[in-house]
């Protein structure tokens, strides 16, 4: 693509971002869609967040992604929040529309899109989430919003699983909940329909670790591990060996990016097709996913 005076700029801000996959995904899409646009990643310091956002407005940046550690801080600088970003309490996508900043969150929707690809609904399911960090927050609120029957959150630091459950109870008082430490003893494994790993246990380089033993679960559960490095974690491998339905983290990662593009470009894209193309490219070219 030729960059010229009409080229529109989209960005990623966070710290660190130097190994992010986002520029690869967005620039691939802009090329495919013949958009005269380019996507760049910027590592920024917390004290510069306000001036960076103001500069984006001044130079007419059309939109930007926000990643760790600014997904909550950025809320102070947006004029409006989407339903999902308000629900989750964090923003990963901002659209700048005539100087007005609108905050969105595509993390939960990206998670759901990969889930729904398997033609399974979360409605009425008993869900177990491992972890209570940033990703667990987006995903727990998203799955509860889908009408699950019950939600259990287990986390190494129990106080964080309790706090997250309290937050969920505040928004969804009728949901059946349970919480505990990262241990099978806190939950009746046979009752669980969907297991979601939102901890970083099993992530590279500690690829031989599993956040929980899966022997006690029913064979017909769905095991979703949002870790994407490695592409297939030990948890996913073990679940596959037992014949369980599995979902890895790469689809979510690509989907949340493509959903940002739909927001910025203000039109529906063929995102399933695009996701598969990008995934194929990452796998065939051995692109490092961090
Ligand atoms: P985070 O906010 O730092 O949370 C990390 C979570 O992992 C916490 O619950 C933490 O428990 C737990 N944990 C870390 N080390 C542990 C250990 N040794 N033993 C037990 N628990 C441990 O991180 P995050 O942003 O939520 O990300 C979590 C994982 O999801 C990462 O692997 C990340 O790459 C992945 N992720 C994937 C996507 C995607 O698109 N697929 C998106 C976001 C994140 P404590 O509270 O006890 O510390």
Strand, helix or coil at 272?
Answer: helix
* Residue 209 bears catalytic tag: no
Domain boundaries along the sequence of the chain: 8-104+251-289, 108-247
Contacts 24+ apart (CB under 8 A), 164-172: 164/132, 164/136, 164/137, 164/140, 167/89, 167/137, 167/141, 168/140, 168/141, 168/144, 171/87, 171/141, 171/144, 172/144, 172/145
- Asked whether 228 lines ligand 1 (CB < 6 A), one says yes
pLDDT exceeds cutoff 90 at 47: yes
- Give the HSE-up count for residue 165: Cα atoms under 13 Å, Cβ half-sphere: 23
pLDDT in tens, 114-152: 999 988 999 999 999 999 999 999 999 999 999 999 999
67, 113, 131, best to mutate for ligand 1 pocket (most atoms within 8 Å of CB): 131
Residue 249: name the closest of 263, 265, 268, 229 by CA: 229
CATH of 8-104+251-289, one of 3.40.50.720, 3.40.50.300, 3.30.70.360, 3.40.50.10860: 3.40.50.10860
For 63, the enclosing helix (H) or strand (E) is: strand 63-66
pLDDT exceeds cutoff 70 at 244: yes
- Asked whether 227 lines ligand 1 (CB < 6 A), one says yes
Give residue 84 CA to ligand 1 midpoint distance, Å: 21
- pTM comes to 0.94
- Percent of all residues in the chain with a pLDDT value above 90, rounded to a whole number: 93
Active-site residue, from 32, 62, 71, 171 = 71
pLDDT exceeds cutoff 80 at 290: no
Hey, what are 224's tokens? 């979703």
Residue 226: name the closest of 245, 205, 248, 257 by CA: 248
Quote the CA–CA distance of 240 and 30 in Å, as a whole number: 35
Give residue 257 CA to ligand 1 midpoint distance, Å: 19
Minimum-distance ligand 1 atom for the alpha carbon of 226: 41
Give me the DSSP letters along 76-102.
GG-SEE-HHHHHHT--SEEEEETTEEE
Indicate the DSSP class of residue 247. Answer: E
**Hey, whose CA ends up nearest to atom 11 of ligand 1?**
156
- Asked whether 156 lines ligand 1 (CB < 6 A), one says yes
Give residue 158 CA to ligand 1 midpoint distance, Å: 14
Answer yes or no: same fold for 8-104+251-289 and 108-247: yes
Strand, helix or coil at 1?
Answer: coil
pLDDT in tens, 167-210: 999 999 999 999 999 999 999 999 999 999 999 999 999 999 99
In this structure, the number of other CB atoms found within 10 A of the CB of residue 50 comes to 12
pLDDT in tens, 66-91: 999 999 999 999 999 999 999 999 99
Q: Which pLDDT score is estimated for 285?
A: 79
Domain 108-247 = CATH 3.90.105.10: no
């Amino acid at each position: 693509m030729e960059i010229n005076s009409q080229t529109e700029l989209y960005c990623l801000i966070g710290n660190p971002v130097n190994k992010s996959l986002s520029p690869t995904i967005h620039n691939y899409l802009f090329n495919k869609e013949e958009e005269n646009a380019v996507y760049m990643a910027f590592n920024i310091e917390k004290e510069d967040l306000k001036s960076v956002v103001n500069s984006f407005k001044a130079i007419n940046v059309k939109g930007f992604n926000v990643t760790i550690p600014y997904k909550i801080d950025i809320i102070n600088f947006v004029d409006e929040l989407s339903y999902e970003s308000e629900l989750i309490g964090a923003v990963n996508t901002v659209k700048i529309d005539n100087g007005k900043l609108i905050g969105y969150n595509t993390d939960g929707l990206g998670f759901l899109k990969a889930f729904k690809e398997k033609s399974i609904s979360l409605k009425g399911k008993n869900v177990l989430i491992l972890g209570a960090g940033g990703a667990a927050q987006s995903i727990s609120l998203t799955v509860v919003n889908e009408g699950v029957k019950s939600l259990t959150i287990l986390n190494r630091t129990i106080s964080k699983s309790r706090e997250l459950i309290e937050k969920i109870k505040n928004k969804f008082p009728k949901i059946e909940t349970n919480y505990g430490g990262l241990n099978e003893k806190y939950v009746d494994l046979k009752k669980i329909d969907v297991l979601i790993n939102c901890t970083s246990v099993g992530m590279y380089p500690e690829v031989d670790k599993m956040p929980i033993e899966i022997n006690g679960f029913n064979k017909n559960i769905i095991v979703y591990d949002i870790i994407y490095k490695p592409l297939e974690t030990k948890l996913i491998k073990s679940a596959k060996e037992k014949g369980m339905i599995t979902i890895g983290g790469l689809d979510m990662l690509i989907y949340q990016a493509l959903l940002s593009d739909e927001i910025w470009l203000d039109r529906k894209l063929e995102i399933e097709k695009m996701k598969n193309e990008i995934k194929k490219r990452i796998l065939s070219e051995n692109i490092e996913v961090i």
